[in-house]
Structure 1
Amino acid sequence: MFSLRQWHGNSNWQNWVGYVTAEPEQKLAPSSVAELQDIIKSARRNNKRVRVTGAAHSFSGCAKPEEIAISLHNMRGLISVDTEAKLATMHAGTYLYEIGKALKQHGLALENMGDVQAQTIAGAASTATHGTGLTLGSIANQVVAWEWVDGTGEVHTHQRGNPQTDDLGNALHASLGMLGVFTKLTLKVVDLYGLQERNEVLDFEEGLARFDDTAHAHRHLEWFLFPGTNKLQQKTLSGIEPKPMSSTQKLKDKFDSAITLNGAFYVLCELARMKPSLTQKVSQISASSIPNTKREGYSYEVFPTPRGVKFNESEYFIALSDFEACITEINDILLKDNKGSHFPIEVRTHKGETGMLSATQGEDCAVLSFHVYKGMDSEPLFDWLYEYMKKWQGRPHWGKVNKLSHVELQHLYPKLDQFLQIRHEYDPDNVFMNRWLEQKFLGHASS
């Protein structure tokens, strides 16, 4: 988890995997909106640029602080709850792992989460971080009201309106912090619920034949397809009556994290790193080692999965109607050449959303995530992925590695220019930009 002491104690900054690094001139952690306003006004006067770094869990350069780094670690916690309307307002620096317990005290829960809980709610909303589920969207889609400080230091609030006409709401939906620094977010929440998780190993053909029925039969469906093996791990989550996770299961989770992820899988990853010719063999061993398991508990206890091994990641959204053809072709390609990665391909589903920068662009999607172990060359896989996904009009997750140019993004996001016009209204002096954002959104040459 994020440590403010370590953040302040180290002069440099790096993202979770350590591939994106910076040496910001200042690291600041405001404790109030007024203090944040002063920081931004000073940065504007002195022609300095500001990025909020959150928990640094993005794999892209979107959060890279080139001059002033801000942490919202001191601006956390639940502010208010409307149990009747099922609305929860929280400070933007609140970490996802803090939200579940806080909402539980009011008999409420987040509608959906991914399997990582280290991020701040502001970071997760800004990048449209998501879980899986045919009828479920991203963290960004759960936000119904925003408070933020813009590039001139002014405070704004906005409540989401009709998605067909609410241009500002659709720009804020997934803004990557380019309109300002979020200070408060109000989320639509749901009644407290439990989840039952089941895992099993399937042959690729069997899993694909059952995919549609399984996705409709469960609240959540997730795949982990092991490249070059024709095997996949299928994880389903089904809603159950709310109940706490047993102490035995919690102990088992800790054991699995320490022994399986930090132990056995780490050894296999290191073997593949030291001898890349063994990547397919390592993938086969990993696929054959997945046990059939069941877990139950409150939703916020079941969603997270321990991440004991670090990796680099690239992720694309494609039309759900294209999924069968696309994943079949990918599996066939990787059976012949696994592109130097033994990590499983993560497959999820996602409801369409109306945000201008939403990777869904309003259509239900399948989401494919590709991983490469830290220390191994990710370029062969990610270069191939960049070219291959053009066939399917694949759109990238903003927090993951993507190699698309500004011109390519304009084609994939028809309202990009409209978003940039709105962005300019709230940040006319580009206080919240960095070189990565300039290259992707303004078309400046990367450096």
Structure 2
Amino acid sequence: MPGADTWRNWAGNQSATGLTVVHPAGAESIAAVLRRAAATGRRVRPIGSGHSFSAVGRPEDVQLVLDRHAALVDVTVDGLVTVQAGMPLHRLTTELARRGWALENLGDVDRQTIAGAVSTGTHGTGARFGGLATQLRALELVLPDGSLLRCSAGEHAEVFAAARVGLGALGVLSTVTLQAVPAFALRAEEGAARLPELIEGFAEHMQATDHVEFYWFPHTDRCLTKANTRVPLAECAPLSRGRALWDDEVVANGAFAGVVAAGRAVPPLVPPLARVAARALGARSYTDHAHRVFVSRRRVRFREMEYAVPRAAAPDVLQELRAAVDRSDWRVPFPVEVRVAAADDVPLSTAAGRDTAYVAVHVPARSEPGGYFATFEAIAGAVGGRPHWGKLHSLDAATLAGRYPRFAEFTALRERLDPAGVLSNAHLDRVLGSTVR
């Protein structure tokens, strides 16, 4: 039975009260929720784990939670994996590993539901690899009128193309089918580097192996680099439990939490603490199951803005961002994350039609981003940057239409499938344009 409730996202910067919260199980139960809402003029927002920083999932009337619709449906002999939309990624990757399969690429957080991750354009890193949506082969969508639409490249292809990154605006995902690959390991090599050298050799560095990323610590020229190479499972040589606990919990989370807290209490301490933090994360090398290496635990909460820029423009973006930090009075305790991805053909994917670099900036969860985020947004915007749909940005539909060649194709499909705006909210009305209620 539905009940009145409140909601807050992971970062704590989005919230809603006085909601009708429903937990349907099965596509027909989802359809019944949508039919009731359409009949009474109410809006419905599906929500996953609340890991979006933007208000893309913020409910206004009815919140649809798919925690009872979260089962693994099928894994075929050729690795087609069908899963209900509410299953979290960490459960999915564990289930696949037990069966000898893996997802081809992952982001560095796995607490999201599969539907939330796909719908907002979640991605990892790898110059030859696309985001999670590029692994989709079929999906089942419950439309706002309660009907069920099965989509793939060969069935309702125009809906499938758009709904792979659909923002929950076209319908409610019921199931998704992904192409898994035989389970593999990653050889992880982490170490220190200097930002000027990484900027100078950006293209070569980011393509040096399968999955490369780096973290730049503002107020310094120091970076932590991560390079992951795909290898057979037989080469697994994971970190000892003690080393993993020390590196990932004591240093990366515990000590970093102390750095952030000290910086909030005494802002002038941030630059020297940044230099200490940059040195604390030392070099290491290990090999483990891919899903364990891709993912990092994030226990210190933050707010994030991430822009996808043409890969060739990334060095200039980083150079300008560093110059902006150096001439400002900002105190930035969080590192800047830099990743890459291959071009894809998903209309609202941030990598649509171009090889892409991702630059992400962060502030503590209880801090206001202020001029830091605004300046970065302007720098990225000058090269046609596209904001991650689940992260903070200030753009509206008119501006976004100029960043996405197939934007009008998506919004026309939205008008056809949800003319009354049953699945909309104020945020979607801003970034996609308003619908008639």
Question: Do they superpose with TM above 0.5?
Answer: yes
What secondary structure is seen at the aligned counterpart in 2 of 1:392?
Answer: coil
CA distance in 2, matches of 1:10, 1:422: 32
- Tell me the TM-score normalised to structure 1 length: 0.92
1:25 is matched by which residue type in structure 2? L
CA distance in 1, matches of 2:95, 2:186: 18
Unaligned runs of 5+ in 1: 1-7
CA distance in 2, matches of 1:105, 1:373: 36
CA distance in 1, matches of 2:240, 2:414: 46
CA distance in 1, matches of 2:70, 2:367: 36
Equivalent residue for 1:306, pick from 297, 302, 308: 297
CA distance in 1, matches of 2:364, 2:270: 11
Matched, 1:417 2:414: no
Q: 1:294 to 1:51 in 2, by over 3 A?
A: same
CA distance in 1, matches of 2:168, 2:331: 34
CA distance in 2, matches of 1:399, 1:356: 16
1:48 is matched by which residue type in structure 2? R
Matched, 1:196 2:187: yes
Equivalent residue for 2:205, pick from 211, 214, 219: 214
Question: 8 Å contact 2:4–2:21 — kept in the other structure?
Answer: no
Of stretches 284-293 and 240-249 in structure 1, the one that deviates more from structure 2 is 240-249
Aligned residue in 2 for 1:76: 70
Aligned residue in 2 for 1:5: none
Aligned residue in 2 for 1:64: 58
Question: 8 Å contact 2:4–2:20 — kept in the other structure?
Answer: no
Q: 1:443 to 1:29 in 2, by over 3 A?
A: closer
CA distance in 2, matches of 1:258, 1:193: 25
Aligned residue in 2 for 1:3: none
Equivalent residue for 1:230, pick from 213, 216, 221: 221
CA distance in 2, matches of 1:387, 1:141: 29
Matched, 1:364 2:355: yes
Q: 1:42 to 1:248 in 2, by over 3 A?
A: same
Query: How many equivalent residue pairs?
Result: 434
**Percent identical:** 29
CA distance in 1, matches of 2:246, 2:399: 45
2:375 is matched by which residue type in structure 1? W
- Tell me the TM-score normalised to structure 2 length: 0.94
Matched, 1:428 2:398: no
CA distance in 2, matches of 1:295, 1:24: 48
1:154-173 equivalence runs, <5 A:
154-161=147-154, 166-173=157-164
Aligned residue in 2 for 1:130: 123
Q: How many Å apart are 1:161 and its aligned residue?
A: 4.9
Aligned-residue CA RMSD (Å): 2.1
1:177 is matched by which residue type in structure 2? G
Aligned residue in 2 for 1:277: 268
CA distance in 2, matches of 1:401, 1:54: 17
Matched, 1:149 2:149: no
Aligned residue in 2 for 1:438: 429
Question: 8 Å contact 1:24–1:69 — kept in the other structure?
Answer: no
CA distance in 2, matches of 1:139, 1:131: 8
Aligned residue in 2 for 1:22: 16
1:89 is matched by which residue type in structure 2? T
Aligned residue in 2 for 1:12: 6
Q: 1:338 to 1:319 in 2, by over 3 A?
A: farther
Aligned residue in 2 for 1:100: 93
Question: 8 Å contact 1:228–1:336 — kept in the other structure?
Answer: no
2:302 is matched by which residue type in structure 1? F
CA distance in 2, matches of 1:124, 1:316: 17
